[in-house]
Amino acid sequence: MAECNHDCSSCGESCGERTAPQDLQAAANPHANVKKVIAVMSGKGGVGKSLVTASLAAAVQKSGRQAAVLDADITGPSIPKAFGVHDRAMGDDDGIYPAVTSTGLKLMSLNLLVENESDPVVWRGALIAGTVKQFWTDVQWGDVDYMFVDMPPGTGDVPLTVFQSLPVDGIIVVTSPQELVSMIVEKAVKMAEMMDLPILGLIENYSYFKCPDCGKEHRIFGESHLEEIAKAHSLSVLARLPIDPALARACDEGRVEQLERNYLEDVARAL
């Protein structure tokens, strides 16, 4: 065996150092003390991951715990708008300061760093994944009890970076009733299982619409297939969210924290 020069890229030997499992987790900013990290993901876009993330974070903050949101959806960031935050993030030599909402919730998103909120992010995957990692390493989060990571759709670079680089304690998978969506969401469930990360449960959005006149519930997107996925993977169904115009309006107007009714308060208490 040749003398080791510690450059594994040019070496063909299978030594213990080379074959040992590598810890890819990144160190948090020295001015950050995050106790729990929960990723909110799905296999498809448009199912309401940001809505679920914002609602859970708002409910945790309301309960008296310090909540934070790391917006990992770099090309489609919507978290700042839901909380009514539009100021650009500031920083110093120790890192970036997270934005703080009206209730004290902390958040970081690329929309807080670009000059104009409507500017598109035309980046390759590696740069996007690196930016998400920097939101963990470069942001001075301070003391946080629960950090929620709003993931982009799919099972590509960013979810892989989050799962490998951040100390994720659990995953919540968001779905909707359509059978096609359920099939795609199952890919997200299987990815979490492959990464050996605990899935805390499933949340179904757009489950039904309750008529304000007669009170009858209508399954606008068809019957749910959530129980089938949950049973196949021995998972819990955490909540089923209705189609609620008041909730959509609150997110559009940046008032998600001011909603009188938060459908995910019970889920936040369970966490």
Q: Give the pLDDT confidence score for residue 16 in this predicted structure.
A: 58
CA angle 95, 100, 102 (to 5 degrees): 170
Q: Give the pLDDT confidence score for residue 227 in this predicted structure.
A: 86
Look at residues 141, 159, 134 and name the one whose alpha carbon lies nearest to residue 149: 159
Q: Give the pLDDT confidence score for residue 154 in this predicted structure.
A: 84
Cα-based distances in Å from 111 to 71, 85, 247, 251: 9, 10, 22, 16
Other CB atoms within 10 Å distance of the CB of residue 119: 10
Are 57 and 68 in contact by the 8 Å Cβ rule? The answer is yes
DSSP string, 36-97: EEEEEE-SSTTS-HHHHHHHHHHHHHHTTS-EEEEE--TTS--HHHHTT--SPP-EETTEEP
- CA 102, distance to chain mean position in Å, is 21
Look at residues 38, 46, 53, 37 and name the one whose alpha carbon lies nearest to residue 185: 46
DSSP 258: G
And the tokens for 82?
Answer: 């839901």
Q: 3-state DSSP helix/strand/coil percent for the chain, to nearest 5?
A: 35, 20, 45
pTM, whole model, 2 decimals? 0.89
The rounded average pLDDT for each run of 10 residues, N- to C-terminus, in the chain (271 residues) is 55 57 83 97 87 96 97 93 93 96 97 88 91 97 98 89 95 85 79 92 92 89 84 91 92 92 93 86
Taking the C-alpha atoms of residue 195 and residue 213, their distance in angstroms, rounded to an integer, is: 47
Are 106 and 67 in contact by the 8 Å Cβ rule? The answer is yes
Residue 58 phi/psi, 5-degree rounding, is -65, -40
Taking the C-alpha atoms of residue 43 and residue 154, their distance in angstroms, rounded to an integer, is: 4
Taking the C-alpha atoms of residue 98 and residue 79, their distance in angstroms, rounded to an integer, is: 13
In a 13 Å sphere around the CA of 68, the CA atoms on its Cβ side amount to 26
